[in-house]
Every structure is written in structure tokens, then in C-alpha cells.
Chains A and B, each alone.
Chain A
Amino acid sequence: MKSVTVIGASLAGLYAARALRAQGYDGRLTIVGAEPHRPYDRPPLSKEFLTAPATADGDADPAAEGPLALTDAEELAGLDAEWILGTRATALDTRHRAVRLDTGRTLTTDGIVLATGAAPRRLPGPAPDGSHTLRTLDDARALRADLARGGPARVVVIGGGFIGAEVAASCAALGHRVAVVEAAPLPLVPQLGESMAELCARLHGDHGVALLTGTGVRGLRAGGDGRVTAVELADGRLLSADVVVTGIGVRPATDWLEGSGLPLGDGVRCDAGCVTPIPAIVAAGDVAHVAGARAEHWTSATEQAATAVHNLLAGRTARTHRALPYFWSDQYGVRIQFAGRRRPGDVPRIVEGSPDDRSFLARYERDGRTTALLALNRPRPFMRLRRELAHPSPAPTG
């Protein structure tokens, strides 16, 4: 293989490029990114990035330098890649392994890594000024600027998942009045199950953030100046709002692959080795639907990239990806960590600490076996058990 194109210049794309070089690939490497920025880390965007005081060099690109940057000049030199940033891939010709870009250029290479990530779902209808989604650095900058416009704002967060909860916590920390609207009777139930989700949902109330559950959103109201004034709920209630943040999930960015012949459906369909039906085309990160499931986690993106590249270079699925799922969230000063594969019906049992202190470790169990772990502010025992769950000690013999 003499030339590889990585489509996507965020976490998975960068880790794919790193893995290529680390695994000895010395051919031509091209990385295409829709955003103008160098690869940066997204998790801080809903947290530290929103709440950090403005710096003197606030105009500098934090994706190039500073805490968000995922790479530096030295590494970039070592990767020896051609970076095509601020440019979208618009079509893929699988037969010729040719990627068409929105600049009109076409890249034809031996191998392709698909790492285009996902885009936030949006509410139907127009999006007035003051309404935001939060996915990219530019999204976060726009929200940050809006939150800094004046005194305390009325912030309505639509969606009580991890992004919504983190944004709500950040806005509350900044002194804004915050309400979270969640369509389900309780947020995070699919991820954590009912009893643990309930413990996490209590964090909102602890910090003066209103949580309105069991109601959808009909739409946003705007004033004559085009700025949002209120959120209209499905039950007819109106919530006054100066700023609205919508965090209702993402859609994998596969639109540009329509008509390519690759199997799509909630992402690019791959086998357990992140390989599409065409061995020279692999996928990693949020866009990849690997062996029947799609993960939107930081750790999955980095691990899948290494697996995908290994198989790309091997020309076949030589290695499969079955890492233990892991994700974390920081809300209201509480670090939530989760690992494992929880299924509905698994019973969580608190084995250490207390929900009253917002510090505990819980095991989810099924048939006497641990299937998953949840910790609030218990990083050390969590990590210990996470390692055990990922690498179970061999059963005693004899």
C-alpha cells in the first residue's frame, strides 16, 4: 500500500494517522478535515472550555495550541501527512478508491479510512439566534460568546443526556439560570438503567437546575430581532429563554457516502475489525457501525482507529475490536465513569460509598457476574475494577 487517505481530522482520524505510522506504513498519507482546525479534543468543549476565563490571547486557535490541541508541531512533522483542512469530502467512488472533495479535487489512493464522525441532531424548524448545538470548537465558541453577553441569562438545555447535563452544569457554574428539558421520564436510562440514572439526575436539583422530564419540545420562539425568546414544550408550556442549547443526540456523518455502494445504516457498516466489504476501506470512530453497534465514546474512537489501520495494512480482518466500552462525564464537579456492557435487567449494586455523598461505586450484575461498572467520584477503585472487567483473571484450575 503506497497511499492512504484519512477522511476526518478529529480524534479517530488523528489516531488512524498515528497508527499508520506506528505500524510502519511509510507511504503517502493525506488527511482531509471538514473543519479548519487541526485535530482537537472535544470532551472539554462542554466543560472547561465553556467555563474558563477569557485569556489575553483569546483569539488564538485553541485547536492549534493550548489544552484542546491533540497534536503538536513535532508530531505533525513526524506524521509527514498532507493536511487538507476546511474541506469536505462529497463523494466516494469505491471501485477506484477515489474521494471527491468540495473543492473539486479528487484524491485517488490505495487505502481509505473513513472517520467523518457525527453531526448533532437538530430540532425541526428554524434555528433563531441564541440557539446552539455543541459539537465542534466553533459551536463551543459561539455558545461561549453568547453566554458572556451580559448578566445571568435564562438558559434552556434541550436533552438531558451527557452533553446536555454537562452544558447545564457549566452554565450553572457561570451563574446562569438553567432548565433542562428531557423528553423521557428520566434522562440517561438507556445508558445507566433506572435507579442509577435517577441518582445522576438528582445532581441537577442539587445545583439549582430545573429538570423538566416527560415532555418534548414543539419549537423555539423568537422575537422581532430574530433572537430566541422561549422554548415551546409539547404540552404547550412556554419556557422563557435567552440561550438555548440542543443536545438530542447525533447522526453519523454518512450523507456523503450515499450512492457509494457501501452498506450504510446508523453509520458505515463494518465487520468486527472495522473493515467495510471492501478491504481497502475501513472506518473508525463515531461514524463506524462495528459488528452491529455504534459507539460514540472517546476511547472507542482511539481503539477502533488502531484496529482499522491494522486491518487496512493487512488487507483483511486480521484483528477484531472488542474493547470494553468506557465513557465518562463531568457534571457539577462530579466525575461519572462507566465501563462495560449493561443490558436491561442487570441489577446495579453499590459496593462502595454512598449516593448521599455523590461518591460511590456500583457493579451491575447478571447471573452473579459483573457486566458493567458505574462510579461517581470514585476514580481509583473504578479503574481497578475496570481493569479486572477488561482482563478477567483466568479461572482457577485443578
Chain B
Amino acid sequence: MIPVCHLADLPAGESVRLDTTPPIAVFNADGELYAIDDTCTHQDASLADGWLEGCLVECPLHAASFDLRTGAPTCLPARRPVRTHPVTVEDGMVYVHRTAEEDTAA
């Protein structure tokens, strides 16, 4: 369980990047919290820097798009999914529960 930040510090439309290995991005998409691996599966770019629209985040480099709910790419150039991680809030703090490497969808 990785502490992220206070919920109050992650307003809707914002994102936070965790310097884990690999890095994880946490998003507040209109009140719903999501966490995915931060690095676009197409080329090295931080999805936390991406454009958030609904449940989709668009990579800032080449406009690949991922569904935060599933990690699946919704358009090219990305073809591989990013891992998703469960997020919880306890006493106003946001936590990410890192999904193990083995659980990665092929």
C-alpha cells in the first residue's frame, strides 16, 4: 500500500506521479480515482502529464490514449495495455495498492 497524497490535494482533473519502479500515475477523473503504470507503452512519456478526458488519458507525446478503468489502449500508436492498480481512500489519504508484476495482462 503506497500513500499518494491527501485527497484534497488531488482535485478532479488532476494527476500525481509516484516515483515507484516502475512509476505509477494516479488520476482523479471527475471524482473517481484511478492508478495506472505511468509510462506510455508506445514510447517513453509520462501519462501523468497526459490529457485527461472522462476515463481516458491521452499521452502527451503521440496522443496514444488509455482507458483508466482497464489500462487498455483505445487508439494507436499504443498497442499494449498499461497495468492498473486499485486505489483506496482512508482518513482523507489516497493509497495505491500495487498490482504484482505477474498479474500483468499479456
Query: Residues on A close to B: CB < 8 A?
Result: 18, 41, 43-44, 48, 67, 70-72, 75, 298-299, 302, 328, 330, 335, 337, 379-380, 382-384, 387
Contacts and interface: CB of A to CB of B under 8 A. Distances in A.
Q: Top 10 A-B pairs ranked by shortest CB distance?
A: A379-B60, A379-B49, A380-B49, A383-B60, A383-B51, A328-B61, A380-B60, A72-B79, A44-B43, A48-B44
A383 B49 contact: yes
Nearest to A375: B60
Given A298-B62, A299-B62, A379 B43 contact: no
A302 B61 CA distance: 14
Contacts of B62: 298-299
Which of the listed residues B44, B46, B61 has the most CB atoms from chain A within 10 Å of its own CB? B61
Nearest to A75: B79
Contact of A379 (B45, B76, B79): B45
B22 to A, nearest CB: 14
A318 B12 CA distance: 41
Nearest to A72: B79
B50 interface: yes
B23 interface: no
A24 B79 CA distance: 21
Contacts of A387: 51
8 contacts: A18-B76, A67-B43, A71-B79, A299-B62, A328-B61, A330-B44, A380-B50, A383-B60
Nearest to B60: A379
Given A43-B43, A335-B61, 12 more contacts: A18-B76, A44-B43, A67-B43, A71-B79, A72-B79, A328-B61, A379-B45, A380-B49, A380-B50, A383-B49, A383-B51, A383-B60
B91 to A, nearest CB: 29
B77 interface: yes
A383 B60 CA distance: 6
A304 to B, nearest CB: 15
Given A44-B43, A48-B44, A384-B51, A379 B77 contact: no
